Structure 1
């Protein structure tokens, strides 16, 4: 309870986005306590303008002078060949005074903790942490803050915050990803632009149709809209008091791709809401209706509270359009002689951007001259009918929306205009001394105090003695500095004078001293180099140590999702099986008892077996899994477990510190540092990221115990939102119609590719790639790299398909490993595989890699 009270009593941090220096200044000037931004490298918004080193230094100086912090994003997966650049970059960030770095890659997090523990690290939402167990692991990794997955509910946040000393950060406003961040490979597999590498192309904002096996559009009669993966924008402005009570520390606004005016407006309104929390003890509104209108106006896709209260289903989504909706302006009365008559429901001004929703689609126009009757006016008001010039087509009754408010934009721009900065701290001054002595000026800013002295001694005034009013006027000339003079006390002899140049110099010296940022603990470059060398040496020793261990027997690893496909895999010749994983609603999965029986059977047959845990589980599901693990620990022999997220790693350690485990591909192991991290923790095997290309794989293959996905369904997205249930499953509040189990479903994109949809027992959607991954033709090359275990991900295939695929791969792998590579050809096997999957295959990123 003490921890919660401490967290409750802490002021909320308002954390703003900035993709450019203008947006950064807009954030600070409108009240942000901290700003997160990206440098030119290693940032998850690679297409934002971002900050070069000079701009970064300027931003940090500007923020620190105004008691704001700067966090830099290093929130992508880092390739091995980029580590030297990363090492230099991290030291530069430390040297220029960055307050923290936001990190996704576990290898990078562990690296920073080892070589630069003075640097504060925040765990990115890309780490997919949504449970207290996941947060516990991040604490051990050296993080001081965690950004929770956007899918975390208020109750879960409260539980998590109560169980950790770490600061908790949550998103409160802006665009939502429909899938779990860090687990979305959709952009990556469709176009090679990876969200994990900062280049997401946002395919979720495109159009899709929900179709069945016969390829019928199941929503054609419903007029739902075709943006089936496009969520509304998050808005928790009225939940801020509860977030504070829960123990959340930082409120994050999304929007590094947004213009400065957006940042200025949203941050100003959220700051006002935070400031009003104490004035609303009964839980009254934190924003006025006019302020809510401004939030809507600056940008919205409709608003949602996301998963804060519950899973909203269809009400989470913006099916009809993926971009800014604007606000309702009125309706068309008529179009006559090039003038559009509009009955207004809100104000209109020259320069506003408006959009007409006509039967032919949407048409945008910028408002020029406005007329009321025949008189030109500066604005039109609610209830009035006005005219504007318009050369398009419109009909009476067409709706009109305002997409850009010129007055609001100008108000926003004024807030961060050069020379009109308003974010200033108040100063209290005390000028004291006697005739014949130098005067002292003590300046106080909060807890900070500085004292400076006049150059000359005070003399008896011949004409104008030094008065409080005169001193206040001179000392208060603080111009563009981040200060203003609030109070001045004079403790001086009557009738003395001091040259104005002395007063000005004292003011200048005091400001200069106040602007000197208190030096933090800095690491000199030589010490840093030594730490880096020690880290590299340790990694080399660990690699050599692992290589000297008994080599792993070459195996085909087969992931299956029920007892029938397990038997098929064994009949096909599998020497290693992975049971469990997600439990699809479309088929019967493994029960805990069936997992136990499967392990015993495999052990008797000499088959290596591991229990795959699901890639996403929430707080309640983690508690349930913990109980299952405790029961499993009592079996005659504990099964080997394959963890899919960091929370599961802590769950198994809770039961048994030495429980043997492996690491699944969903933990995004993309480099040696991450690989070494998991092996150091005791992992027996690690499945590598499916986003690596063959040259990167060859480098990582130096470590025994790596596994590579070589065949099967590539899961592109996992989401709490189910498009089948949301659109076909009945109205909100009714029981789901379980439509997902009645027939297979697909999302068809505008190129007419059909992406299979599976729903798991927790009603999460799993979206799969159109084409099956198939590296059958590359098996000889994969073995030459040194990779000993390749995986067949057969969690959606029929028993017949499983048996045939396992047989083909096992025969090929055995032939290659017996040294008969020259005699092996892939032709016959590929012909069989093609007959099973006539829609064709993909080699994933094996040759093309990701941006």
Structure 2
């Protein structure tokens, strides 16, 4: 409780994005407390301009001179061959003096806390942490801050904040991902551009149709729009007081791909909202934090419509921007008439030359930049609300067509002025004291934000013959701070009456004081030699651990199933290792807790290796329910082996029993040796690798024992709290969902007419699967030669008959390859049988192509 009171007493941090130096200056000059940005490598927005080391050094210096922090994103999965470049980069960031790095990869997190513990680390939203248990695990990893998943509600945020010493950061404005960050492989599987590697192509913003098994468009008559996976933009500007009350520390603005003008405008408006919030808290007043005109500016600079996201509740269709995936602009008016190259507009808002406008017609949308404006045949500078004006136009439009303003020239100019070179306004106050006597050097004491600098005049103070030094004159000279990041707030003059000092001396004292203030504040540095020794020690430890863990692992086919019928089919087909549980699809009965217990008992008697797969996403309440189930499981004859799917689940099972045996599922994105080693140290008995791993990476990772590889089955591309079926077909707004998802199979059809299967789980989350089944059957011999001991069949959506055939084929092939029988195994016959089961074809995933 003391911790949350402390958090509430601190000012909220306004954290701004910057994709380049102009956007960085825009953020600082408009009131950001901190800026997050990416380098040229290892950044989750690889297509932004980003910063090389020289630019980054310049940015850090500029920010620190203005009491602003800089956080650098290293928030992607790192391949083993990149680690040498990474450790060099991390040391450069330390030398430059960045305030923190933002991370996704647990292996990288442990690396930094081992070789560079002096560097502060923040857990990216890509780590998919949304519960107090997940945050607790991050504490044990050495993080100082966590960026919660965007799906975390206000009530959950409050509970998390009350139970951690970490700073809590949440997104408050900007674009929303429709799926859980860190768990979305849609761009990765469709085009090889991975969100986990910073190259997401945003296929979710494209058009889709919701179709059934007969490929009928189920929304043809409803016409909500075809951007079925495109959310509105987040806007929590009016929730700032609530965020402060529940213990949030940092308010994060999304937008490293946005223009500097966007950053300038949004940061300025949120800074104004924060000032009003503090004033209201002080006076106990209640009112909006943004005026109507400020809200209009927020809309104008970029919006897809606004939403509060999951802050209060799951909004369903109200979360989405079905009709438009990009900037909607603001309503300008309607077309009145079109004649002779001039278009008449009935205005609902102001219009200026240079504004960008867009017509929404029955044939689509057409955009133009406004040139001259006429009113009653007279050229005017501005069209005002309520007026009918004319503009030059040679396109197609009809009376009644809606018109939107997509770019406001005056707003953009206002934004640009705020970060224009030489017109910087972000300055800190200086308090000065000038002291001394005639015949002595005068002493100038300068205080700035807790720092004190003292300088002396070059010459001695003299008795004035004509013009003695006055406070006003001294203030005028010492206040000439120009483009420095300071302004003179107050000056105390304690000198003998009639004292004189040349103006050149006053100017030199001012310059010297500023120079001292701009010197880098001494900080703890790590010598390069010390750093190299730490890195070598870390490498040696990892190599020794890998060597010591060489143990005999029985090669097996691992079969993941989601209900009792498919479990029985797998066992009858010869499976010696099964994974039960996972997500409980609404289209299937799933496993009850008692059935999980019985399944373990059956497997134990038959000598079958069995693990209980936990769901990849659990919120706070669902995690509490899992905790109760695990406590019940401790009363069974033998504790079941668990397969964890997120960091919170690891903390939950350790809460029940520190020695509970567990494995790690692929959703924890193990992409390198460092992550593998991390989970081994935590006690993992087996680790399933990320499905984004390339075969050349596999050969390296296979040196570790008990590594599991996905070799066949459905590739899950996305998990989302938003359900497109329930949101569009589930009933009217406010009504309970009618359960349409369980009545027939559903698919999202893209513009190329590929149909992506949709499943919903018992918590009504949407799971989107790849069109084609992963199939590495033809690569089994190569996989075995690499040393991989276990390959997995992910058969959580297949029928019992399909499970039986697939398991039989893979078990026979794997047993043959593992027994090194004299005759060579060939895949032709098995592939023929698999193709007959899945005529739509297969994919080899990233086995050969890897990810960008």
Same fold (TM over 0.5): yes
Give the match for residue 806 of structure 2: 805
- Quote the offset at 1:421 in angstroms: 0.5
Q: What is the alpha-carbon distance in structure 1 between the residues aligned to residue 532 and residue 777 of structure 2?
A: 44
* Aligned counterparts, 1:13-52, within 5 A: 13-52=13-52
Counterpart secondary structure, 1:651:
helix
Give the match for residue 741 of structure 1: 742
Matched, 1:77 2:62: no
| Cα offsets for 1:504-555 (capped at 9, x unmatched) | 11001111111123121111101101111110110010000011x3x11000
Q: What is the alpha-carbon distance in structure 2 between the residues aligned to residue 387 and residue 612 of structure 1?
A: 65
- Quote the offset at 1:116 in angstroms: 0.5
Q: Which runs of 5+ in 1 are unaligned?
A: none
Give the match for residue 520 of structure 2: 517
Matched, 1:217 2:227: no
Matched, 1:498 2:498: no
Give the match for residue 542 of structure 2: 539
Matched, 1:254 2:254: yes
Q: What is the alpha-carbon distance in structure 1 between the residues aligned to residue 771 and residue 522 of structure 2?
A: 55
Give the match for residue 186 of structure 2: 186
Counterpart secondary structure, 1:428:
strand
- Quote the offset at 1:799 in angstroms: 0.2
Counterpart secondary structure, 2:251:
strand
Q: Residue 328 of structure 1 is aligned with which of 322, 328, 331?
A: 331
- Quote the offset at 1:820 in angstroms: 2.6
Q: Which runs of 5+ in 2 are unaligned?
A: none
| Cα offsets for 1:326-346 (capped at 9, x unmatched) | 000011110111111111100
Give the match for residue 567 of structure 1: 568
Q: What is the alpha-carbon distance in structure 2 between the residues aligned to residue 530 and residue 157 of structure 1?
A: 41
Counterpart secondary structure, 1:88:
helix
- Quote the offset at 1:649 in angstroms: 0.1
Q: What is the alpha-carbon distance in structure 1 between the residues aligned to residue 290 and residue 665 of structure 2?
A: 45
Paired residues of 1:780 and 1:821 also in contact (CA < 8 A): no
- Quote the offset at 1:821 in angstroms: 7.1
Give the match for residue 829 of structure 2: 828
Counterpart secondary structure, 2:815:
helix
Q: What is the alpha-carbon distance in structure 1 between the residues aligned to residue 103 and residue 646 of structure 2?
A: 16
Q: What is the alpha-carbon distance in structure 1 between the residues aligned to residue 704 and residue 2 of structure 2?
A: 46
Where has structure 1 moved over 4 Å in runs of 4 or more?
none
- Quote the offset at 1:359 in angstroms: 1.2
| Cα offsets for 1:752-779 (capped at 9, x unmatched) | 0000000000000000000000000000
Give the match for residue 782 of structure 2: 781
Counterpart secondary structure, 2:457:
strand
| Cα offsets for 1:357-380 (capped at 9, x unmatched) | 111111100000011111111101
| Cα offsets for 1:724-748 (capped at 9, x unmatched) | 0000001121110100000000000
Paired residues of 1:437 and 1:457 also in contact (CA < 8 A): yes
| Cα offsets for 1:753-809 (capped at 9, x unmatched) | 000000000000000000000000000000000001000000000000000000000
| Cα offsets for 1:27-73 (capped at 9, x unmatched) | 00000000000000000000000000110000000000000000000
Q: What is the alpha-carbon distance in structure 2 between the residues aligned to residue 780 and residue 283 of structure 1?
A: 69
Paired residues of 1:102 and 1:124 also in contact (CA < 8 A): yes
Using the size of structure 2 for normalisation, the TM-score is: 0.99
Counterpart secondary structure, 2:216:
coil
Give the match for residue 201 of structure 1: 201
Counterpart secondary structure, 1:527:
helix
Q: What is the alpha-carbon distance in structure 2 between the residues aligned to residue 301 and residue 459 of structure 1?
A: 68
- Quote the offset at 1:282 in angstroms: 4.1
Matched, 1:296 2:264: no
Q: What is the aligned-residue RMSD (CA, Å)?
A: 0.7
| Cα offsets for 1:603-628 (capped at 9, x unmatched) | 00000000000000000000000000
- Quote the offset at 1:822 in angstroms: 5.0
Q: What is the alpha-carbon distance in structure 2 between the residues aligned to residue 396 and residue 712 of structure 1?
A: 54
- Quote the offset at 1:279 in angstroms: 2.1
Give the match for residue 146 of structure 2: 146
Give the match for residue 380 of structure 2: 377
Give the match for residue 610 of structure 1: 611
Paired residues of 1:815 and 1:821 also in contact (CA < 8 A): no
Give the match for residue 414 of structure 2: 411
Q: What is the alpha-carbon distance in structure 2 between the residues aligned to residue 727 and residue 436 of structure 1?
A: 86
Give the match for residue 591 of structure 2: 590
Counterpart secondary structure, 1:595:
helix
| Cα offsets for 1:453-501 (capped at 9, x unmatched) | 0010001122221111211111011000000111111111111211111
Counterpart secondary structure, 1:122:
strand
Moved more, 426-435 or 246-255: 426-435
Paired residues of 1:428 and 1:487 also in contact (CA < 8 A): yes
Q: What is the alpha-carbon distance in structure 1 between the residues aligned to residue 223 and residue 601 of structure 2?
A: 53
Give the match for residue 451 of structure 2: 448
Q: Residue 290 of structure 2 is aligned with which of 287, 291, 309?
A: 287
Moved more, 487-496 or 19-28: 487-496
Give the match for residue 366 of structure 2: 363
Moved more, 277-286 or 371-380: 277-286
Q: What is the alpha-carbon distance in structure 1 between the residues aligned to residue 663 and residue 440 of structure 2?
A: 76
Q: What is the alpha-carbon distance in structure 2 between the residues aligned to residue 753 and residue 368 of structure 1?
A: 43
- Quote the offset at 1:681 in angstroms: 0.5
Q: What is the alpha-carbon distance in structure 1 between the residues aligned to residue 644 and residue 811 of structure 2?
A: 25
Matched, 1:315 2:334: no
- Quote the offset at 1:428 in angstroms: 1.1
Counterpart secondary structure, 2:433:
strand
